[in-house]
Amino acid sequence: MASRRIVLKDPSRFRDPANLTWERYVGLQARERERYLAEKATIPADALAYKTVSPRYLERAIDQFANNYYSEESATHYIATAAANAPFDELKKCCLFQLADEQRHLEMDREVFERAGIPERDWLGAWEAPGTTCRFFRHVLELEDTIEILVKANFVAEGAAGPATFAVLADGAEARGDVLSAVNHRARIRDETRHISFARVLVKALIEDDPENLDVIQRWQDESLQLFAEVARGGERREWWEGFLGSYYKIALPLGLRPSTVSV
Ligand SMILES: [Fe+2]
Ligand SMILES: [Fe+2]
């Protein structure tokens, strides 16, 4: 499908809402890292070695672990492409800081797989199995245009899988004895919130810059949500799917986007 490109004719419409400089970013990440390590240090050794979860939990959790790990792994690649092709510096800066965030998330999720004792040869199969978010991320990895990547991955996907979804995942993991996943999700939320906000500012700027951009963004939204719908197919993750759409529409509808007709 040939996607139409859109440009921000007046780049001064976009400003990083977190107002980060290199110095502020490094300081923020250092504090974040300290906080993460302090939280991890409170996890009892048994729990950290995945001895407190049921064997049945681990069997089923491999899909969730793969969804976490490979979406972060994909993010390190697509956001690097977005940075390399960024049309102006302020946007490039946001992408580069995000690249560092995603690399950290990727390492956190690798540790989960390893501590849970799941052999690396099983990871990719779990990700490529039906019912994961693999189809969506493989699509984004084929894109080269910064604006399209940020609209689809940051605005739609992160906007949907945003804070509410990660809070549900964190609580669910903790209730089953998987404290490391819970700590990881809660750490990740703080960065993802920043990724969503700069994408939101970008989308708003694009629509103000040229109202016709709304149609293209609407089509990118429809394509993205359709690729995600597979996760909810068969009604298995109905509740997850409703929350996912709910989080996204909360940020998208006020900007003039319409709900997508998605076949599940
Ligand atoms: Fe991430
Ligand atoms: Fe992110």
Residue 150: is its pLDDT beyond 60?
Answer: yes
Ligand having the closest approach to the CA of 157: 2
* Tens of pLDDT, residues 181-204: 999 999 999 899 999 999 999 999
- Tell me, in angstroms, the distance from the centre of ligand 2 to residue 53's CA: 28
Q: Please name the residue that has the structure tokens 């003039």.
A: 256
User: Directed axis angle between helix 179-209 and helix 213-228, to 10°?
Assistant: 160
> How confident is the model at residue 233, as a pLDDT?
77
- Per-residue confidence band for 2, with pLDDT thresholds at 50, 70 and 90: low
- Tell me, in angstroms, the distance from the centre of ligand 1 to residue 212's CA: 31
- Tell me, in angstroms, the distance from the centre of ligand 1 to residue 178's CA: 19
Enumerate residues with CB within 5 Å of ligand 1 (an ion).
72, 102, 105
Ligand having the closest approach to the CA of 79: 2
**Which residues are CB-neighbours of 103 under 8 A, at least 6 positions away?**
76
The span from the CA of 246 to the CA of 230, in Å, is: 17
* Tens of pLDDT, residues 18-44: 999 999 999 999 999 999 999 999 999
Sign of the Cα torsion 146, 152, 157, 162 reads positive
> Position 223: which residue type?
E
Residue 50: is its pLDDT beyond 90?
Answer: yes
Ligand having the closest approach to the CA of 185: 1
Ligand having the closest approach to the CA of 108: 1
Show contacts of 49-57: CB within 8 Å, 24+ apart. 49/115, 50/115, 50/116, 50/117, 50/178, 50/180, 52/177, 52/179, 53/176, 53/177, 53/178, 54/176, 54/177, 57/176, 57/177, 57/178
* Tens of pLDDT, residues 67-116: 999 999 999 999 999 999 999 999 999 999 999 999 999 999 999 999 99
What is the pTM assigned to this prediction? 0.95
User: Phi and psi of 183, rounded to 5°?
Assistant: -65, -40
Say if residues 229 and 242 touch (Cβ distance below 8 Å): no
- Tell me, in angstroms, the distance from the centre of ligand 1 to residue 210's CA: 30
The span from the CA of 124 to the CA of 194, in Å, is: 29
Residue 223 half-sphere exposure toward CB, CA atoms < 13 A: 19
